Structure 1
């Protein structure tokens, strides 16, 4: 019987593992190897790294730190979380683990443009394809930027990026744009160009990402897909926790979900999808877990 099972070893999961291990708790860290942070070519928003740091390098450093306090990571995909009294059964296919508490740090998965994986990864590594304007809008200052999206979400992403460069184009992913009058006016007032889709024929050309549109072939220094994401909250929702309409988990100020004993931190929770925010939530969750377990029976007897 573990004190806590952490599902996901991105920045939130690893931060929680460090905290809980240093609280002398018995924890299990389970991960399927798909942290979104691993896709970051170089983050400059993470304090303490003046030259920036690669996402995989950051995760490896965090895991090395966790290992120094006795944390080991199990590679597996969790298929179910089942509350049983005041404990939980965590299923990984035929394997089973038990814990007094569970912390879900499973994050989200970005919806990608329709391109092959090799091209996608190459474009991402070169900065021709980017997913987070909050993270790296600074890097596209005064460059030619394309945003693949439409509707309110596409408009808001294009308008956010307009704060970094005057050259922003919003391209509909499939056919004509779906923009109401207020969205169209906001884009027009900001000088954001609008181009209909569909988008296709992606390739790296002239140091940027090129693709076909209804207005011909276009090349951008960087392209941001504004296609939404899948929030990996299904395990908690199936167990009975409450989510928002978008699928984010609802938590209180201590990162408790509506299911007692189940906690959540990071991008799976509604909030700013940033490493710093995820780590802060994880610290709060881990400390609350420690204090709640201590009320059940004193720790370090």
Structure 2
């Protein structure tokens, strides 16, 4: 089914911090903008962030997203549930193909984020919600000062994350899936079925009669995959980590196609995402003005 309504000035794909911030800017530029909300964004996992600017007492991810959505809608941005399955070029911009319809837009912003590589451990979602499992030491290492920490990984990323955490705690153990060849001290080779979550602790059940080990927090260092499929379909270039390459105005290597947030670079910070969204939205507005 095709949407025969007037084309949008901009369609934003993704309703996380980057997408909703861009929508606010575009709406305030008096642009006809639509946000496609493809489901629960990564930011919704955050139990409470204390490094998000403007929230000295902390803010939960769900509450932050609610406020960002409210702000975008206040200025007239439309936000609809929907997932773009494909992008194709048109003479005036782009056609976005959804499961049940298609839309046209002069410009498109991809705020599609990344997909984390998550371990298959029973109760993982609840453990993330309780801050037993953490995803981002840049975000919350301060809250882990002096705690018993474990880092779960498969290679050098785990060691780098452990090194980042050691100024915050003297008790940091790397839990390496598989064999930890030539691993430094405080590295333990494990299998996932040795891990379990209790109410306030992460427990590593040892084998061979060894005593179990307990941690206050488990950091995941298993990597993530940028969600770049829509851009790839148009031939957009990616960097060595798979993220989209953009210019200083956040336009990808495809004219009129912009990107912001985790899909662009690996820092994966809310403040970076909203800053990029502001830059991209302003560039989109200026591009439309030039027409």
Pick the TM interval, shorter chain.
over 0.9
Match status 1:130 vs 2:125: no
Find the aligned partners of 1:211 and 1:284 in 2 and give their Cα distance.
45
What is the Cα deviation at residue 216 of structure 1? Answer: 5.9
Q: How has the CA–CA distance of structure 1 residues 220 and 83 changed in structure 2, closer, same or farther, with 3 Å as cutoff?
A: same
Q: Which of the residues 202, 216, 228 maps onto 1:209?
A: 202
Q: Which of the residues 143, 150, 155 maps onto 1:146?
A: 150
Deviation string 1:157-181 (CA, Å, 9 cap, x unpaired) is 11111121010000112x21255xx
Whether contact under 8 Å (1:196, 1:213) holds in the other structure is no
Match status 1:65 vs 2:71: yes
Q: Which of the residues 168, 176, 192 maps onto 1:199?
A: 192
- SS at the partner of 2:241? coil
Find the aligned partners of 1:122 and 1:254 in 2 and give their Cα distance.
38
Whether contact under 8 Å (1:198, 1:213) holds in the other structure is no
Match status 1:159 vs 2:163: yes
Find the aligned partners of 2:46 and 2:72 in 1 and give their Cα distance.
21
Match status 1:272 vs 2:267: yes
Q: Can you give the 5+ residue segments of structure 2 that lack an aligned partner in the other structure?
A: 1-6
What is the Cα deviation at residue 154 of structure 1? Answer: 1.1
- SS at the partner of 1:81? strand
Match status 1:78 vs 2:81: no
Find the aligned partners of 1:284 and 1:26 in 2 and give their Cα distance.
18
The correspondence of residues 13-92 of structure 1 with structure 2, limited to 5 A, is 13-92=19-98
What is the Cα deviation at residue 271 of structure 1? Answer: 4.2
Q: Which moved more, 1:90-99 or 1:5-14?
A: 90-99
What is the Cα deviation at residue 123 of structure 1? Answer: 1.1
How many residues align? The count is: 283
Q: Can you give the 5+ residue segments of structure 1 that lack an aligned partner in the other structure?
A: 297-301
What is the Cα deviation at residue 93 of structure 1? Answer: 1.4
**Scaled by the length of structure 1, what TM-score is found?**
0.90
Find the aligned partners of 1:91 and 1:9 in 2 and give their Cα distance.
18
Deviation string 1:61-114 (CA, Å, 9 cap, x unpaired) is 110111111122111111001112341000111310000000000101211121
- 1:169 corresponds in structure 2 to 173
Find the aligned partners of 1:281 and 1:17 in 2 and give their Cα distance.
12
- 2:221 corresponds in structure 1 to 226
CA RMSD across the alignment: 1.5
Deviation string 1:211-254 (CA, Å, 9 cap, x unpaired) is 33556632210001111112111111112111112210000110
